Amino acid sequence: MLKRILGKSGLEVSAIGLGCMGMSFSYGPPPDRKEMIELLHAAIEMGITFFDTAEVYGPFTNEKLLGEALSPFRDRIVIATKFGFRMDPEGKKPWIGLDSTPENIRKVAENSLRRLRTDVIDLFYQHRVDPDVPIEDVAGTVGELVREGKVRHFGLSEAGVQTIRRAHAVQPVTAVQSEYSLWWRTPEKELLPALEELGIGFVPYSPLGKGFLTGKIDEHTTFDSTDFRSILPRFTPEARQANKALVELLGRIAKKRNATPAQIALAWLLAMKPWIVPIPGTTKLSRLEENIGAESIVMTDDELAEIDRTASAITVLGDRYPEELNRMTGR
């Protein structure tokens, strides 16, 4: 697989990474652990070197999974994990609030290192901006961890442009992770221009619209009660029915290219900027192979113009998150 460098940092990763959350959290009952280890090994064999996790995924179980599966290949891969939530000591919820105090950042770093079975975190993201802790303090603490050799690179997730600028002035930000796909193009307005100016890489999560852009979900699809999508406004039956126009657009392009809608959705993202690295998640080998296949699809200028023109005329129905979670983004 081709490699990309995240911004000006020098952090080289595979052009398509792997979001690992669904292997133990959020999309229904967790899959078989042994099968997920085999899937992670297959990803490495296929050229993926960039793996994304977080302490809150599980909580904790996703990092442990990656630690077990990836430790034999540690010198060949890049692992990103995240801090910033206050965990529920009773374990009834994955998290009960935000906490990016220096003390918690350090505690999370030590615990993540242990669970990941490594001596350094390649990319350490603030998962969500904590309004109660100045971002300068957050950046400064991660900078200390970098100097101590426990962290290589600093990242931010779902942060606003001004927060990114303030953090970057204290400790260089290597990458920003936010949702970005054909059905969530808000990052194009302010975020992408700022990242290009500052030389920061961009890591889109949910590049396939949490599965919707694959064309395998429609208004009749049912979700398990433990599936995160069951509470998302954009995944109501009415919204799924209204938003099919985007999938139909991808399908038309895909048919001409002998590809799938998912591959076109990922190829479109890769064509946006050379410092964009999407991290589609999956728990199935067939989907992993399909996603990786997008890397070889080079979109033409005419195709990109057609997608932009048609997609811009489509109004996507439904917020991407419930209000409580929406408030945590763009700070």
11-50 residue pLDDT tens: 999 999 999 999 998 898 889 999 999 999 999 999 999 9
What distance in Å separates the CA atoms of residue 133 and residue 186, rounded to the nearest whole number? 26
Report helix, strand or coil for 50: strand
Q: Where are the alpha helices (DSSP H) in 118-260?
A: 135-147, 161-170, 191-198, 237-242, 244-257
Q: Which of 38, 29, 15 is nearest to 58 (CA)?
A: 29
CB 20 within 8 A of CB 53: yes
Q: What is the pLDDT of residue 289?
A: 98
DSSP state of 235: G
Mean pLDDT of 224-245: 94
What distance in Å separates the CA atoms of residue 317 and residue 241, rounded to the nearest whole number? 9
Q: What is the pLDDT of residue 61?
A: 95
DSSP state of 245: H
Q: What is the pLDDT of residue 217?
A: 95
136-184 residue pLDDT tens: 999 999 999 999 999 999 999 999 999 999 999 999 999 999 999 999 9
With both helix axes pointing from N to C terminus, report the angle between 244-257 and 301-312 in degrees, rounded to the nearest 10. Answer: 170
In the chain, domain spans: 3-211+269-297
Q: What is the dihedral of CA 262, 263, 265, 266, to 10 degrees?
A: 120
Report helix, strand or coil for 169: helix
Q: What is the pLDDT of residue 119?
A: 98
CB 101 within 8 A of CB 93: no
Q: What is the pLDDT of residue 125?
A: 99
Q: Is the pLDDT of residue 90 over 80?
A: no
Tell me whether residue 57 is one of the annotated catalytic residues: yes
Q: Is the pLDDT of residue 199 over 90?
A: yes
Whether the pTM exceeds 0.95: the reply is yes
* Residue 119 CB coordination number (10 Å): 9
Q: Which residues, 6 or more positions from 165, have their beta carbon under 8 angstroms from its beta carbon?
A: 194, 198
Question: Could you say which of 27, 57, 125, 180 is catalytic?
Answer: 57
Q: Is the pLDDT of residue 297 over 80?
A: yes
Assign domain 3-211+269-297 to its CATH architecture. Answer: Alpha-Beta Barrel (3.20)
Q: What is the pLDDT of residue 114?
A: 98
The percent helix, strand, coil of the chain (3-state, each to 5) is 45, 15, 35
105-121 residue pLDDT tens: 999 999 999 999 999 99
What residue ranges in the chain does DSSP mark as E strands?
3-6, 11-14, 18-19, 50-52, 78-83, 85-86, 97-98, 121-126, 151-157, 173-179, 201-205
Q: Which of 85, 88, 40 is nearest to 64 (CA)?
A: 40
